[in-house]
Amino acid sequence: MEINLTPIGIVKNNITEPKRKDWETVTSEIIIDDNLKEALYRIDEFSHIIVIYWMHKLPPSQRSVIKVHPKGNQKLPLVGVFASRSPARPNPIGITTVKLIERRDNVLKVSGLDAIDGTPVLDIKPYIPDHSSTSEIKTPNWVLK
């Protein structure tokens, strides 16, 4: 099966390399295609949004990675790529919940987006606690290290 996706916009910021630890300090703009700006109607009533994007700079060799050390830390256990937040994965899709600072026409100003300048945005969803989180969460100890 083939799936075709069309970006709805693009990330603009001053970050050119994905190797960072302080993404929460990064402010970005998401420029939504003009023909979709009406789809942003009332998005600014939310404090946070979920941004889904395509990690376009991931080299093809990284798309065949099956196991990783989380956060690239060799002291953490080797895990399957689907048990990690590693960018190396078969489909380089990123997803991040960010703070929505403001909307200006077709531009969303956000903080905490871990995407570099020029990243294609695939979708945006509002963060709604009842839909986006659960109270019964279990994570392994190595995630917290």
pLDDT category at 64 given cuts 50, 70, 90 is: confident
Distance separating alpha carbons of residues 145 and 141, to the nearest angstrom = 7
Distance separating alpha carbons of residues 116 and 55, to the nearest angstrom = 8
Average pLDDT, the chain: 91
46 and 85 co-located in one domain:
no
φ, ψ (nearest 5 deg) of residue 108:
-105, 125
29 and 51 co-located in one domain:
yes
**Quick one: pLDDT at residue 131?**
73
pLDDT category at 139 given cuts 50, 70, 90 is: confident
62 has pLDDT over 80: yes
Query: What does the angle CA 102 – CA 131 – CA 140 come to, to the nearest 5 degrees?
Result: 105
- Cα-atom radius of gyration of the chain, to the nearest Å? 16
72 has pLDDT over 90: no
Q: How confident is the model over 8-12, as a mean pLDDT? A: 98
44 and 98 co-located in one domain:
yes
Q: How many domains does the chain have?
A: 2
Query: Residue 84: which domain range?
Result: 58-90
35 and 105 co-located in one domain:
yes
